[in-house]
Amino acid sequence: MRINAQQTGSGLRGMRSIACIPECHGLYGIHESGTAICTDETKVTIPSVVQPDNKRLPIQMASGGVMIYRPLLPFPKERLTATCEAARVHWYQDATNSDKTLTVRNTVRYLLGQERLPKAICKPNLLRISALTQTALSKSHEEAMRMLRALRIISFDPRSGVLVFQQPAEANAGYDRPHLLRVATSILSKLASAVSPNEHISSSSLASVARYVFLDQSKARAEQSSGVTLTLTAASVVWQRTLSLTGADFNSSPIWTLSRQPYMSVKLQPSCTWSSELARPSTKACPYWTWQLFDGRVWIRVKSSDCRLIIVRPFHQTDLSRLRRILPHAQKKKVEEQLAECAPGKVRWTLPLLVDATTAALLALPTLALRLFPAGKSLQWQIQYKHLDLDQFDSRHLKQ
């Protein structure tokens, strides 16, 4: 079926033994999230504001969720049925499986059972292809993780979703170019997943970036010595190559900054909505409205006794102009300083902004812990950055 759907490469390894539940992206508590749900407001584990002396990440990472485990995949059906019969456990067979016209899967199952498929795609050969593919993918994954851990992750800031890394010059030693390209795209997909809003990242979409980052480093250093900067876009991520940290060490590898790609138009911008009429608190002790995933990157939930309809959308240039007009000088200065520190340049236009949809009042920049409304107004929020495999990062390089 996967061959017929032209799912070559990793698609040929077959069904995974451990996987997320399909079609559940954005469902809190199911898709890689949910372990930090509070049951007692006095024991909230997801702070919306972290004190300056707190050494944890300014925003916690989501974790948990529901996984599918398939421990019986290695066993043939004949052995499973025999085991059930020996243990006097009734074996149930779905009657619809015998209808070869019901689904494509049933048709393929019937043709396999009748040995009517070409020899090249008969069951033994398909299993052999799956095993070879899985072995090759496992080897490439191990090599990718080894090279990934050798990367110098300079920083990752979940407040703006910006990742900065430096590639060691000797990382490509001992690899032929095609193999290095495959491993490199695997590495870059892991890095991009920390910044990109995309649920799935195609390695093929990162091939052009991989050539600049891993394969053409001598050319990159030559351009770097001439002061040439480079900006690429792939997987909804902006990849910007800059000078080394010292600004003059042209023998070192370039620095790459990854940030969320700016939105192409207002119509394509993400948003989430909470309504006091539709949202129901999970418990009386913790009356937050439903968790929602904003832009595929940040989990947010809010509560308010004043606002009936709250939306979260990207921060706009017009919003900043408006804040400069209406905010007191001290608060305006604080906003400017936070934006300059955490979200310089166009990155700030990808930050989430909480807005009162009824009055159009700007309420907060939640990832920066900045309240934009009068102190008397009621609004609280909690945030988690999407799940990341932090084992691939050196925790010393994460923003404190």
Q: What is the pLDDT of residues 79-118, one digit of tens each?
A: 999 999 999 999 888 888 888 888 888 888 788 777 777 7
Instruction: Provide DSSP, 327-362.
Output: S-HHHHHHHHHHHHHHS-GGGGGGSEEEEETTTTEE
Top mean pLDDT of 153-157, 199-203, 236-240, 327-331 is at 236-240
Residue 198 φ/ψ region, left for φ over 0, alpha for ψ in the -120 to 50 degree band, beta for the rest: beta
pTM of the model: 0.80
Q: What long-range pairs does 341-344 form, CB within 8 A, spacing at least 24? A: 342/157, 342/159, 342/160, 342/367, 342/368, 343/159, 343/160, 343/162, 343/368
Kind of pairing, strands 352-356 and 309-314?
A: antiparallel
Per the prediction, the chain carries an average pLDDT of 80
At residue 149, the pLDDT reads 73
Q: At what angle do helices 317-326 and 329-342 cross, to 10 degrees?
A: 150
Express each pLDDT in 115-126 by its tens digit.
777 777 777 777
At residue 169, the pLDDT reads 64
Statement: residue 345 has pLDDT above 50? yes
Q: Which of 16-25, 28-37, 89-98, 335-344 has the lowest mean pLDDT?
A: 28-37
Report which of residues 178 and 20 the model is more confident about: 20
Whole-angstrom distance, CA of residue 282 vs CA of residue 285 = 9
Whole-angstrom distance, CA of residue 358 vs CA of residue 310 = 8
Closest among 13, 9, 17, 15 to 130, alpha carbons compared:
13
Q: At what angle do helices 123-150 and 177-193 cross, to 10 degrees?
A: 70
Report which of residues 65 and 167 the model is more confident about: 65
- Residue that has been written with the tokens 């040995």 in this structure: 115
Q: What is the rounded (10 degree) CA torsion for 208, 211, 217, 218?
A: -100
At residue 130, the pLDDT reads 80
The tokens describing 363, both together, are: 């309420």
Question: Hey, what amino acid is at 325?
Answer: R
How confident is the model over 351-356, as a mean pLDDT?
95
- Residue that has been written with the tokens 């079609």 in this structure: 23
Statement: residue 291 has pLDDT above 50? yes
Does residue 313 contact residue 353 with C-beta atoms inside 8 Å? yes
At residue 36, the pLDDT reads 46
